Amino acid sequence: MTDLTLSRLARDWPGKSHPSEHPALWHMLDVGAVARHLLTTRPIRGGATDAALALLVALHDLGKISNSFRAMLREGRGQIWRHWEHSALLLRHHDAVLADLLGGSDSVRRILYEAIAGHHGGPRQTPTASERQQQLQEIGPEALADAEQAIRAVAALFPGASLDGIDATGAKPLSWLLNGLVVQSDWIGSNPDWFPPAAPDMPLPAYWARACAQAEHAVAATGLYAASVTDVGDARILPPDVAPRPMQQAARDCALPDGPVLAVIEDATGAGKTEAALILAARMMQAGKADGLFFALPTMATANAMLSRVQAAAPALFDGAPTLGLAHGRAALSEGFRSLIGGEGANPETGPHCTRWLADDRRRILLSDIGIGTIDQALFAVLPTRFNALRLRALARKVLIVDEAHSYDPYMEAQLKRLLTFQARLGGSAVVMTATLPGRMKQGFVTAFQAGLAPPRPSRGRRRPAVPAADPPTAPYPALTIATNTAELTAVNPAEPTVRRVGVTRLSDPAQAVQLITEASAQGAACIWVRNAVDDAIEAVAALRAAGVRADLLHARFAICDRLEKERALQAVFGKSGQGRAGRVLVATQVAEQSLDLDFDVMVSDLAPIGALIQRAGRLWRHMDARPAPTRPVPEPVLHVLSPDPDRVENARWLHQVLGAGAYIYPPTVTWRSARALFDAGELRAPDGLRALIEAVEGADPLPLPEALEGENFQHIGQQMVERQLAENCLISAAEDFAQDAMRKIWDDEQFPTRLGVPQVTLALARCGAGGVVPYAGNGPDGWAMSELQVSKPRFDKLTPPDQTDPAITRIKQGWSEARAACTIIAPLGPEGRICEGLRYDPELGAIWN
Largest CA distance in the chain: 92
Q: Above 90 in pLDDT, residue 546? A: yes
The dihedral region occupied by 712, where left means phi > 0, alpha psi between -120 and 50, and beta the remainder, is alpha
Q: How far from 569 is each of 557, 566, 661, CA to CA, in Å?
A: 17, 5, 27
Specify the DSSP class assigned to residue 745.
Answer: S
**pLDDT category of residue 586 using cuts at 50, 70 and 90:** very high
CB atoms within 10 A of CB 595: 19
The span from the CA of 688 to the CA of 255, in Å, is 25
| Helices of type H across 587-733 | 591-594, 610-617, 668-681, 690-698, 710-730
Mean pLDDT of all residues belonging to the chain: 92
**CA 514 – CA 503 distance, rounded (Å):** 19
**pLDDT over 50 (residue 130):** yes
Contact 839, 833 (CB under 8 A): no
| pLDDT number for residue 462 | 44
DSSP assignments along 494-529, one per residue: PPGGG-EEEEEEEE-SHHHHHHHHHHHHHTT--EEE
Is 276 strand, coil or helix?
helix
Cα angle vertex 455, ends 104, 259, to 5°?
A: 85
Question: Among residues 174, 55, 201, 170, which one has the least CA distance to residue 115?
Answer: 174
What is the rounded distance in angstroms from the CA atom of residue 641 to the CA atom of residue 644?
9
- On whether the CB atoms of residues 482 and 261 are closer than 8 A, the answer is yes
CA distance 268 to 498: 6
Sequence-ordered list of residues with C-beta below 8 angstroms from that of 346, at least 6 positions apart, any chain: 353, 355
Helices H / strands E in the chain, number of each: 34, 28
For residue range 164-179, list pLDDT tens digits in order: 999 999 999 999 999 9
Pairing of β 839-842 and β 788-792: unpaired
The secondary structure element, H or E, covering residue 149 is helix 141-155
Helix or strand or coil: residue 167? Answer: coil
Residue 464 has pLDDT above 50, yes or no: no
d(CA 484, CA 99): 37
Following DSSP, what letter does each residue of 789-817 receive, concatenated? EEEEHHHHTTS----TTSHHHHHHHTTS-
For residue 79, what pLDDT is reported?
82
Q: Rounded mean pLDDT of 89-109? A: 97
- 459 Cβ partners below 8 Å, 6+ apart? none
Q: What is the pTM of this model?
A: 0.94
Q: CB–CB of 786/775 below 8 Å?
A: yes
Which pLDDT score is estimated for 749?
58
Report the residue count for the chain.
850
**Is residue 750 predicted with pLDDT exceeding 70?**
no
Question: H or E element: which one contains 507?
Answer: strand 500-507
Cα–Cα distance, 98 to 52 (Å, whole number): 10
pLDDT tens for each residue of 250-267: 999 999 999 999 999 999
For 756-784, what is the mean pLDDT?
92
Q: What pLDDT is attached to residue 369?
A: 97
CA dist., res. 365 & res. 293, Å (int): 11
What is residue 459's predicted lDDT score, i.e. its pLDDT?
Answer: 46
pLDDT value of residue 51: 98
SS3 543: helix
Task: Count other C-beta atoms under 10 Å from residue 571's C-beta.
Answer: 15
Considering only 17-26, 146-155, 200-209, 701-710, which range has the smallest mean pLDDT?
17-26
Residues 6+ apart with CB under 8 A from 758: 792, 793, 794
**Cβ contacts of 826-831, under 8 Å, gap ≥ 24:** 826/763, 826/764, 826/766, 826/773, 826/802, 827/763, 827/764, 827/765, 827/766, 827/801, 827/802, 828/765, 828/766, 828/767, 828/768, 828/773, 828/802, 829/765, 829/766, 829/767, 829/768, 829/776
Instruction: Name which of 472-476, 727-731, 843-847 the model is least confident about.
Output: 472-476
Q: What is the pLDDT of residues 340-396, one digit of tens each?
A: 997 444 446 667 999 999 999 999 999 999 999 999 999 999 999 999 999 999 999
The pLDDT score that the predictor gives to residue 16 is 80
Instruction: Say what the pLDDT of residue 350 is.
Output: 66
Please write the tens of the pLDDT for every residue from 177-191. 999 999 999 999 999
d(CA 602, CA 636): 9
- For the stretch 195-220, pLDDT in tens is 999 999 899 999 999 999 999 999 99
Average pLDDT in the 438-466 region?
74
Mean of pLDDT values over 297-317? 92
* Alpha carbon distance 605, 671 (integer Å): 13
* pLDDT tens for each residue of 38-64: 999 999 999 999 999 999 999 999 999
DSSP state of 501: E
- Decide: helix, strand or coil at residue 370: strand
pLDDT score of 106 more than 70: yes
Contacts of 297 (CB under 8 A, 6+ apart): 303, 306, 372, 373, 374, 375, 403, 404
Query: Do 402 and 416 touch, CB atoms closer than 8 A?
Result: yes
DSSP structural state of residue 513: H
Domains and CATH numbers, the chain: 3-222 (1.10.3210.30), 246-454+464-493 (3.40.50.300), 500-686 (3.40.50.300), 760-849 (no CATH)
- 296-319: average pLDDT: 92
432 Cβ contact list (under 8 Å, min separation 6): 262, 263, 264, 265, 402, 405, 445
What is the pLDDT at residue 270?
87
| pLDDT of res. 4 | 64
Backbone angles phi, psi at 473, to 5 degrees: -65, -20
What is the C-alpha to C-alpha distance for residues 244 and 412, in angstroms, rounded to an integer? 33
Residue 125: CB partners within 8 Å, gap ≥ 6?
744
CB atoms under 10 Å from CB of 27, counted, come to 24
Asked whether 530 and 590 are in contact (CB, 8 A), the reply is yes
**Which amino acid is residue 622, in one-letter code?**
R
pLDDT of residue 469: 47
Decide if pLDDT at 17 tops 80. no
Confidence band, pLDDT 50/70/90 cuts, at residue 748: low
Distances (CA, A) of 787 to 644, 762, 766, 778, 784: 39, 10, 7, 8, 5
Q: Say which residue, 479 or 474, is predicted with more confidence.
A: 479
Using DSSP bridges, classify how beta strands 602-606 and 527-530 pair: parallel, antiparallel or unpaired: parallel
DSSP string, 332-359: GG-HHHHTTEE-TT---SSS-BEEHHHH
Please write the tens of the pLDDT for every residue from 28-42: 999 999 999 999 999
Is the confidence at residue 460, as pLDDT, over 60? no
Mean pLDDT computed over 618-640: 95
For the stretch 273-283, pLDDT in tens is: 999 999 999 99
The DSSP bridge pattern shows strands 398-402 and 500-507 to be: unpaired
DSSP state of 125: P
Task: Grade residue 470 by pLDDT with cuts at 50, 70 and 90.
Answer: very low
Name the range with the highest mean pLDDT among 126-130, 469-473, 515-519, 737-741.
515-519
Find, among 517, 509, 573, 574, the residue nearest to 545 by Cα: 517
pLDDT exceeds 60 at position 461: no
Lowest model confidence (mean pLDDT) among 450-459, 609-618, 695-704 = 450-459
- pLDDT score, position 743: 53
Amino acid making up residue 670: V
Half-sphere exposure of 354 (CA within 13 A, CB side): 28
Give yes or no for a contact between 378 and 269, defined as CB atoms under 8 angstroms apart. no
